Amino acid sequence: MQAHTRPSIIEMHGIGKVFQAGSMECQVLTDIHLTVRQGEFVSIAGPSGCGKTTLLSLMGLLDVPSHGELRFRGESVHAMGRAERARLRNRHIGFVFQAFNLIDDLSVAENVALPLSFRKDVMARDRARRVVEALGSVGMAHRMRHYPAQLSGGQQQRVAVARALVGDPSILLADEPTGNLDLHNGETVMALLNRLHVDGRTICMVTHDDRFNAMADRTVRLLDGRVVDESTFRQLQSEADSGLAARRHSASFP
Amino acid sequence: MSRITDIVRFWRASPRQPGSLLLASATLAIGVAALAGAFTLMEAVLLRPPPWPNHANVAVYGGRTADDPMRAASPSLYDMVGSPESVRSRGAARMPEAMNVVYGRHRGLLRTQRVDVGFLPTLGIVPALGERVPSRMGGAEVMVSNALWHRWFDADAMAVGRVLLVDGQPMRISGVLPADYRFFADVDLILPLVLPSNTTDRVENMTAVALLAPGSITAFSESVMDTVGRNAARLHLEPADTRWYGATPLDTLTAPGARATIWLCVGCALLVLIVAAMNVSNLMLTRALDRTQETSLLFALGATGWRPWIPALSAAVVTALLAAVIGMPVGALLVMAFRPLVPDSWLASAGPLAPGSGVLVAVLVSVLLAALLATGSAVAHQHFATTGYPAPAFAPRRVYSAMALVQTALATLLLCVSTAAALRWWRLDQLPLGFDHANALVMEVRAPPAWYAGREATERLATSLRAKALRLPGVETMGWSTQLPVGDGFVMPFLRPGGAVVRLQYAVVTPGALESLGLEKTRGRWLEDGDRGDSERVVVVNQAYLEQVDGYGVGGMVRPASGRHAARIVGVVANTPLAGVSAEAEPAVFVPLAQIDHLSFATVRQWTSMYAVLRGPSVGPATGDAFARIVQDMAPSLAPANARALDQVAQMAYAEPRRDAVLLSSFAGFALALACVGHYSVQAVEVISRRRMFALRGALGATPAALMAQVLRRALVWALPGVAAGLLAALAAHRWLFVTDTALGMSDPWVFATVVPMMTVATIAAVLLPAWRAAAVEPWRVLRSD
C-alpha cells in the first residue's frame, strides 16, 4: 500500500494553541496542518521553545487545541470529554517521555502493566503475558522484578518503551526519548524505535538531534510555532544564527 | 547569628506566612476547647474545695439507704446522739422547703431551709454581711442568699435589718450568705430551726453535721451506731436497720454519681487533644519538609546542639499559645452551653461554673506538651534528613498515614461511646412515659399553715380555685397534686400484706388531678368528688405497686405503717418515670386530699408544695397567667410560681441519658472533625507529592474518575484499619465505660452498624477535595515541567 493511501491516525487542520498567563496571551502554535498515517515514522524538529512538546501533547490528546480541527483515527476530538480522551489514550496511544517517568515504588513489570490496569477488558493472565511480551520486545524481560532505581538510564527508557507498547497502541509518541541518555544508550533506544517502525509501528518523535531525524520517514520542522519546509527552515535558522552573531559582534566592538 | 537571633527571625517571619501557623493553632484549639471544658467541669465538681471552711473535719451522721450515701437524721435521733466527747460542735438543717416571700414589690415562692444555731458555725460559714442566723434564740430572723441579695436588694449593704414577709410572718434579715454557699441545694433564705429536747419526732428529714476532732470519725460513727442500737425500739427501727446508721465524712458526699461521667469526659477531651496534636504534627512535618534544605545548610555550616531545631520549637510554642488564646474562650462557651445539663447535685459550690486559674495552668501545660510532642516528628525528620542517618525513603508519608490511622481509631472509639449513649437515649425515649404530657400546664402553689391551718382550709381553697380554673377558656380538667409524674416526691411507710414496712411514693391529690396529669388508667376508676372524708377511704395505686407490693389490685387494701386508716384500691394507673426513664419504676399511692388524716397532711404539706394541673386543648402560657391572677385575687399572700408545660416536666425524665448523649456526642464530633482534617491533610500532601504519578497515570489513560477513586481508595485503606482498631478498642473498653450507673451498650450491633458507615462517609467526604485535585492534574503540564 502506498504511504499516502494508508488510513490516517492523526489529522490536524489549522491547529493553533494559545496559553493564557494572567492577562497575557501566548500563541504557541499557529495554523498547523499535519497528517500522520499508519506505519509512518514522523520526527518533529525545531529549536527550544518552538512548540514541539505542545504539538506532541495535542497529538497525544493530553491537551486540546485552541483553534482548528484535530481528528484522531477519523474522529474529531473537540466534542470529547476528558474521560473519553483518556480512554482513547489508553487504547491507542503509547507515550515515551524524555524523563522515563517510571514510578519508583513499582517494579518493572508493574510499571509496564500500568496502562493495562486502567482497562477492564484485559484479564489478569492476559495482562501478565502481554507484559512479558512487551518487556521481551525491548530486551528487558529478565529485569521484570527489579525496581527503576536498580536500572541504568537506557534500561529505564527501554522499560518505558515497553510500557508504551504493552497496550498495542495505534501510535507511539516519543518526546525527546534520548534527551536524558548518553550517546550509547541513546543509539540503543533509537535502534529499538527503528526496529518497531520496521515492524509496522506508527511513531511520532520529537527530537532536536539531526542524526535521529534521519531515521524518520519525514521530518516536520517547527519554527516559532509554525510548520515550515526544509529550505525555509534552513534559511530562517541561518538568518537567526547570523543575526545572533551580528549582535554578538556589535556587542564586542561598539 | 545567635540563638536569640534565630528566635527573633522566626517571630518576624511568622506573620508573613500566617496560614500554616493559624491552621495548626486552630486545629490544636479544638483540643484546647474540649480540654478546657472537661477540666472546668472536673475542677468545679471534683477538685474545687467545698464552700464549707471546716469541711475536712465535718461528718454527716444519721441513717442512709443502700442506694444513697447521703445520711438523714430525725430530731429524735439528733437529740439522742447529743454531743459526744469527739464532737466540737454540731448542727442540723431541715430539708429545703418552698415559702411565699414578699418584700416590697417583690413576691415569690422561694426555696428556704431551716437550720439550728449550730449548723452554720459547724460548717465554718462566715456571713458575707451581717450575722449568722439565728443570731439570738427565738428571733424571727433570716439570712438571704447572695443571689437573692443581688436580685431583690441590688447588693445594698443596708439590706441587713430590713423585714421580709415569709409565709405571712415578718422576719428581719440578719445577714447575707457568702456568694459560693450552698449545701447540696440552692436556697434563697436560711431560717432558724428550734429543736425541742426529748422530742419523739422520728421523721428523718434533717441533715445532721458534726465538727469532729481530727481522726475521730470512726469512733464517732461507732458511737452513733451504738446510740441507734440502744434506742432502736424508741426509734421504731428493726435491729437489721441499725447497720445503715453511722457517720460519713462530708467531703465524700459531694458530687454523688458524677465521678464516672466526669472522668469519661476528661478522658474523651484528652483523646480529642491527642487527635488535634496528631494533626498539628502532620502540619509541622510539612513545614519541616520545607525547611530541610535550610536545616541541612545550617549543619553544613557547622551548627551544633539544638540550634537547628529552634524554628520548629519556636513554632510549637507559638502554636500552643495561639491555640490557648483561641481555645480557652471556646471552652468557656462550651461550659456555658452545657451548664443546663449538669445536675445541681454535682455542684458543691454556688460559685460560677467557669474556668479558673487552675484550669488555665493545666490547659496551658497540656497544650504546650501536646505541641512539643507534635513537633517531635518534624524534628525527627530533620534529624534523619540532615545527620546522614538512613531515614526510610517514604518515612514522612508513612508517619502521616499512621497518624491518620490512629486518629481514625480514636475518633471511632469516641464515636462508639457517643453512639451507644445516643442509642440508649433514643431507646429510653421510645419507652411509654405512662402519661399524656401534651396540652397541660402545671403551677406550684404553697398554702402555708399560718393561713390555711388545717386540711379543710386547704381543701376549701383548692376546691374554690379549681371551680374558677374550670371556667377559664380552653380548660377541660383541673386538679391539685403534691406529686408530678416526673421528679422527687414524698415517701411514706406502708405495710406489705405480710406486715413488712415498705416506703411508697405518696401523693395527695384532688378529684381531677390524675386525669389532668394525663395518667393512663389501666383498671378501676379515678378519684371523684364523692370520695369525701365521711365516705369509704380509697386510693389509686400505680402498676409498680401491684408488681412490687401487693398484686391484689382493685378492691385490695393499702395499709399505712402508722396503723392509721387503711384505704381500698379503686383504680390503677400506669407507672411514670418518677426518678427518670433509666430508673426502675417506684410504687406509688394517690390519696384524696379530702380523706387524708390531719397528721399525715401536716407532714406532707411541710415538705411539698401543691401543683395546680390544668388540661385542655388550648392551655398555654396565657392560661397560666390567668390562673395566677385568680390565685392572687383569692389569696393575695400566695405566690404561684414555676408555671410550665407538662411537656417540660416530661423532658426531665430524659435528663440523664440526654446529658450523657449530648456531652459524649460533642467530644465525638470534635474527634470526627479532627480525624477528617487529618485525612484531608494526609491526602492533600499525598496528592501534591505524587502529582507526577497522577499525571503519568492520566497520560497513560486513567480517567479522572479512576484517579479520584485511587485517592479515595488510598484514604479508605488507611481509614478502615483505624475504624477496625477503634471498634476493637470500644469492645475492649465497653466493660469499663459507665455513664452514671448504667453501662453503655458498646457491643450493640447498632453501634457498629452506625459507626462504620459514618466513618466511611466522613473519610470519603474529607478527601473529596484532594481526590478532585488529583483528577484535575493536567498530565502534559506536570510531565513537561518535570
Given an 8 Å threshold on Cβ–Cβ distance, is B700 in contact with A114? yes
Shortest distance between the Cα of B779 and any Cα of chain A, in A, equals 7
Mean per-residue pLDDT, B320-342: 85
> Which of A163, A48, A162 has its CA nearest to residue A114?
A163
Which of B706, B779, B786 has its CB closest to that of A118? Answer: B706
CA–CA dist B76, B561 (Å, integer):
18
pLDDT: which is higher, B590 or B564 = B590
Percent of chain B residues topping a pLDDT of 90: 32
Mutate to test the interface with B, among A89, A121, A165 (most CBs of B within 10 A): A89
Chain segment B757-783, per-residue pLDDT in tens:
999 999 999 999 989 989 988 887 777
Given an 8 Å threshold on Cβ–Cβ distance, is B702 in contact with A118? yes
A97 and chain B: CB distance < 8 Å anywhere?
A: yes
- Ordered strands of the A75-76 beta sheet: A24-37, A8-21, A67-72, A75-76
Chain segment B628-672, per-residue pLDDT in tens:
999 988 888 788 888 999 999 998 888 888 888 888 888 788 778
Shortest distance between the Cα of A95 and any Cα of chain B, in A, equals 7
Mean per-residue pLDDT, B74-79: 90
Chain segment B555-579, per-residue pLDDT in tens:
999 999 887 789 999 999 999 988 8
Asked whether the beta carbons of A221 and A235 are under 8 A apart, the reply is no
CA–CA dist B224, A126 (Å, integer):
91
For chain B, report the end-to-end CA distance as a whole number of angstroms.
37
Cα dihedral across residues B264, B266, B272, B278: positive or negative? negative
Q: Which residues of A touch B697 (CB under 8 A)?
A: 114, 118
Chain segment B217-267, per-residue pLDDT in tens:
888 998 888 888 888 888 777 777 778 899 999 988 887 677 877 887 888
Residue ranges covered by each domain of chain A:
3-252
Whole-number pLDDT of residue B299: 53
What pLDDT band is residue A252 in, cutting at 50, 70 and 90? very low
Burial of A78 (0-12, 13-18, 19+ CB in 10 A): exposed
What pLDDT band is residue A115 in, cutting at 50, 70 and 90? confident
Which stretches within chain A are classed as H helix?
52-59, 82-92, 108-117, 124-137, 153-165, 183-198, 210-213, 230-252
Which of A86, A99, A101 has its CB closest to that of B701? Answer: A86
> Which of B198, B219, B199, B104 has its CA nearest to residue B151?
B104
Given an 8 Å threshold on Cβ–Cβ distance, is B780 in contact with A57? yes
Which of B696, B704, B779 has its CB closest to that of A83? Answer: B704
Q: Identify the closest residue of chain B to A83 by CA–CA distance.
A: B703
CA–CA dist B510, B531 (Å, integer):
10
Given an 8 Å threshold on Cβ–Cβ distance, is B696 in contact with A105? no
Given an 8 Å threshold on Cβ–Cβ distance, is A118 in contact with B699? no
Whole-number pLDDT of residue B731: 81
Q: Which residues of A touch B701 (CB under 8 A)?
A: 86-91, 93, 115, 118-119, 167
What pLDDT band is residue B154 in, cutting at 50, 70 and 90? very high
Domain A3-252 CATH superfamily? P-loop containing nucleotide triphosphate hydrolases (3.40.50.300)
Chains A, B: CB pairs < 8 Å: 62
pLDDT for B755 beyond 80: yes
A163 and chain B: CB distance < 8 Å anywhere?
A: yes
Residues of B with CB under 8 A from a CB of A: 394, 692-693, 696-706, 778-780, 783-784, 786
Q: Which residues of B touch A60 (CB under 8 A)?
A: 699, 780
Mutate to test the interface with B, among A56, A82, A88 (most CBs of B within 10 A): A82
Q: Which three cell numbers stand for residue B442?
A: 402545671
Cis peptide leading into B134, omega within 30 of 0? yes
Give the phi and the psi of residue B140 in degrees, each rounded to 5: -90, 80
CA–CA dist A240, B276 (Å, integer):
62
Number of helices (H) and strands (E) in chain A: give both, helices first: 8, 10
Chain segment B686-718, per-residue pLDDT in tens:
887 788 889 889 888 888 999 999 999 988 888
Shortest distance between the Cα of A91 and any Cα of chain B, in A, equals 8
**Rounded to 5°, angle at Cα A161 from B697 and A6:** 100
Cα dihedral across residues A234, A235, A238, A244: positive or negative? negative
A60 and chain B: CB distance < 8 Å anywhere?
A: yes
A110 and chain B: CB distance < 8 Å anywhere?
A: no
Asked whether the beta carbons of B589 and B539 are under 8 A apart, the reply is yes
pLDDT for B740 beyond 80: no
Asked whether the beta carbons of B115 and B192 are under 8 A apart, the reply is yes
Which of A91, A93, A97 has its CB closest to that of B783? Answer: A97
CA A9 to chain centre: 14
pLDDT: which is higher, B511 or A122 = B511
Whole-number pLDDT of residue B268: 80
Whole-number pLDDT of residue A250: 39
Which of B693, B703, B778 has its CB closest to that of A103? Answer: B693
Strands B538-542 and B567-573: parallel
A99 and chain B: CB distance < 8 Å anywhere?
A: yes
Given an 8 Å threshold on Cβ–Cβ distance, is B703 in contact with A118? yes
Given an 8 Å threshold on Cβ–Cβ distance, is B778 in contact with A99? no
- The beta strands (E) that lie in B714-754 are given as 738-739, 742-743
